[in-house]
């Protein structure tokens, strides 16, 4: 269905997702890692819309969650997938742990010594046994934004790999805990496969040592983090140019990089891709309110703001911005694409070469399927956008646009 028709039917700002693209991305991982027992556990934080979770769950995905709220989303979206959940995060609360134990999830990725004791206490209280993997930091540098690098010893995530055997021995004293795996995640939006291979090699060595120590290590969680190219729109199986590999090539190279370490051990591999499955399957449609000149600069002001898509403001992230309808205007302009939020950081693009644009034109901010709606807020008391899932010629409204009634519903005057 054409984007302009969707915008006219559902209004703007509007998130639009391709169901076909998401399934195809998941299938790339499932095919590339078919050489070993494996489960793709989609990172829910990337895009937690119920319809997206149901689509991926029905296609065989498990889920990587980081909160009790994400657990409940998986429960409501696709109940059978509860047994394919890994629960990560450094600050799990008692109610979240209890809910996950009650759901009999696959694995807790434990991130501290204190969490070992807490998990054991809650499992004993509920008279169940908790399966866990210790998340270790292999101290492998991943060249990415510092906010999304997670695998070094100075980061808040996980524990030093050198302490792992000691902590597994400590956990073995708890009768309500079962060491079932070992976990690693070195960061997000990583373009090179070399850091993944280096991290996995160290974790495989640890898994072998843990088995020698008597632990029944059945799962190896390699995390996620495979990056995408935000400067070009790609199609499955095709490369935009000789320098940029296609998504299929990226996943194939990723699997090939992990294979040598995996060939050294018989184990069930868990993978946690998020962004790679959904980012390039989504776009944010927004309509131009006006084009203004100020201090020698041109500003294209849209009806979407940083509350709808915060990645450019938060990370200085690049997103391609394209007109939905091909412009017949001959002139080009260099402009900042900005929103109506009362912040100078409210922008989608800066000093970007664009075709001539006018008030009322519809533009698309591309590759917005990950960390778009999931990080959206009501800043400036702005209702969050609607979301639409497109499959073939059909479109489905999967989240209605918020209203002012929604925004004020939880507030009370004294």
Report, as residue numbers or ranges, the catalytic residues. 342
Query: Do residues 268 and 220 make contact, with C-beta atoms less than 8 angstroms apart?
Result: yes
Tell me how many degrees the CA angle 166-135-149 measures, rounded to the nearest 5: 130
Nearest to 43 by CA among 283, 311, 223: 223
Token pair for 183? 């976990």
């Amino acid at each position: 269905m054409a984007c302009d028709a969707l915008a006219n039917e559902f209004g703007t700002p509007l998130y639009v997702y391709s169901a076909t693209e998401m399934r195809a991305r998941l299938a790339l991982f499932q095919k590339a890692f078919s050489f070993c027992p494996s489960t793709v556990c989609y990172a829910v934080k990337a895009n937690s819309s119920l319809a997206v979770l149901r689509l991926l769950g029905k296609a065989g995905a498990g889920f990587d969650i980081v909160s009790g709220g994400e657990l409940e989303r998986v429960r409501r979206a696709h109940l059978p997938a509860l047994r394919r959940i890994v629960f990560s995060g450094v600050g799990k609360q008692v109610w979240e742990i209890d809910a996950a134990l009650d759901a009999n999830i696959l694995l807790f990725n434990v991130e501290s010594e204190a969490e070992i004791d807490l998990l054991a206490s809650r499992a004993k209280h509920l008279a169940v046994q908790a399966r866990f993997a210790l998340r270790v930091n292999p101290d492998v540098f991943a060249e990415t934004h510092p906010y999304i690098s997670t695998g070094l010893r100075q980061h808040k995530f996980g524990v030093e790999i050198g302490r792992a055997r000691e902590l597994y021995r400590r956990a073995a004293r708890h009768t309500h805990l079962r060491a079932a795996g070992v976990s690693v995640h070195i960061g997000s939006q990583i373009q090179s496969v070399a850091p993944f291979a280096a991290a996995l090699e160290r974790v495989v060595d640890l898994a072998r040592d843990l088995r020698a120590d008597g632990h029944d290590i059945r799962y190896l969680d390699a995390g996620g983090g495979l990056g995408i190219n935000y400067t070009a729109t790609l199609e499955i199986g095709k490369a935009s140019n000789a320098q940029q590999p296609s998504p299929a090539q990226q996943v194939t190279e990723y699997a090939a990089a992990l294979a040598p370490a995996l060939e050294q051990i018989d184990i069930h591999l868990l993978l946690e891709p998020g962004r790679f499955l959904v980012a390039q399957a989504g776009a944010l449609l927004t309509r131009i309110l006006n084009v203004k000149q100020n201090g020698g600069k041109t500003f294209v002001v849209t009806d979407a703001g940083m509350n709808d898509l915060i990645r450019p403001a938060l990370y200085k992230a690049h997103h391609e911005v394209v007109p939905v309808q091909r412009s017949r205007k001959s002139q080009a302009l260099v402009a900042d694409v900005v929103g109506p939020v009362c912040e100078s950081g409210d922008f989608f693009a800066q000093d970007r070469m664009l075709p001539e644009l006018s008030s009322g034109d519809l533009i698309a901010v591309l590759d917005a399927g990950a960390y778009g709606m999931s990080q959206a807020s009501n800043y400036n008391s702005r209702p969050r956008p609607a979301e639409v899932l497109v499959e073939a010629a059909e479109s489905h409204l999967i989240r209605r646009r918020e209203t002012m009634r929604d925004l004020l519903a939880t507030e009370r005057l004294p």
